[in-house]
Chains A and B, each alone.
Chain A
Amino acid sequence: AQSVTQLGSHVSVSEGALVLLRCNYSSSVPPYLFWYVQYPNQGLQLLLKYTSAATLVKGINGFEAEFKKSETSFHLTKPSAHMSDAAEYFCAVSDPPRGSQGNLIFGKGTKLSVKP
């Protein structure tokens, strides 16, 4: 069965600093992977997705993630944090791993705080 592990339940960075949120997956085959963002008291919004095309995926708001099969990782990065990036971030894997209508299995989330 697929699973997702997000390292660090809380990450704090200074404004302008690099953002790195870690996600590792477990799957029998390379799965489809997603990063979602949840702002306070709101629903989830898709940041980016990996569906077996380019391994470096660019998303909205300057975020990107790189799929590394050898490390079973899909870490989310942003070169320069902005105050508006403060939110909860969820990594998710598709179940079945390559299903287009499967459900999403979420990690436990990482709360990103940005200090002025």
Chain B
Amino acid sequence: DTAVSQTPKYLVTQMGNDKSIKCEQNLGHDTMYWYKQDSKKFLKIMFSYNNKELIINETVPNRFSPKSPDKAHLNLHINSLELGDSAVYFCASLLAGSYEQYFGPGTRLTVT
């Protein structure tokens, strides 16, 4: 039983395309996050959602948009992909008051 799952695991696409990455958690957590890990392994928060409300929105390009159809899902849509978007994207979820974020396995996005 995977706690936080992401699809796809690998995504190769061309510049200018629009793509989506899906995330689902079956932990009943209240808050979900998207992180970006660059080629140097540096991790940075992109977005978080709490009960379907965006509560953190870091300075990422507006080509990136999170969408949460329900509490268990937080999808990441990316428009007009650029070479610099190539990275590993991690979804995570958090139970209120627990402090521990559970991470998904990551989606490796390669833009050619």
A residues neighboring B (CB under 8 Å): 32, 34, 36, 38, 41-46, 49, 51, 88, 90, 94, 100-106, 108-109
B residues neighboring A (CB under 8 Å): 4, 30-31, 33, 40-45, 48, 50, 55-56, 58, 90, 92, 94, 96-106
Q: CA A103 – CA B64 in complex, angstroms? A: 18
* Chain A residues within 8 Å of B4, by CB: 43
Say yes or no: A101-B43 contact (C-beta < 8 A), given A42-B106, A46-B101: no
Nearest opposing residue in chain B for A105, CB measure = B45
Q: CA A90 – CA B41 in complex, angstroms? A: 10
Instruction: Pick the 9 closest A-B CB pairs, nearest first.
Output: A43-B103, A103-B45, A106-B43, A44-B103, A43-B105, A109-B41, A46-B100, A100-B97, A43-B104
* Chain B residues within 8 Å of A101, by CB: 30-31, 48, 50, 55, 94, 96
Q: CA A10 – CA B58 in complex, angstroms? A: 29
Q: Tell which of A41, A43, A44, A100 has the most Cβ of chain B within 10 Å.
A: A43
B100 near A106: Cβ-Cβ < 8 Å: no
Q: CA A100 – CA B41 in complex, angstroms? A: 25
Task: Select which of A41, A100, A108 is within 8 A of B42 by beta carbon.
Answer: A108
Say yes or no: A104-B90 contact (C-beta < 8 A), given A43-B106, A49-B99, A94-B99: no
Nearest opposing residue in chain B for A94, CB measure = B99
B42 near A109: Cβ-Cβ < 8 Å: yes
Distance in angstroms from B12 CB to nearest chain A CB is: 16
Say yes or no: A88-B105 contact (C-beta < 8 A), given A46-B100, A51-B99: no
B42 near A106: Cβ-Cβ < 8 Å: yes
Distance in angstroms from A93 CB to nearest chain B CB is: 12
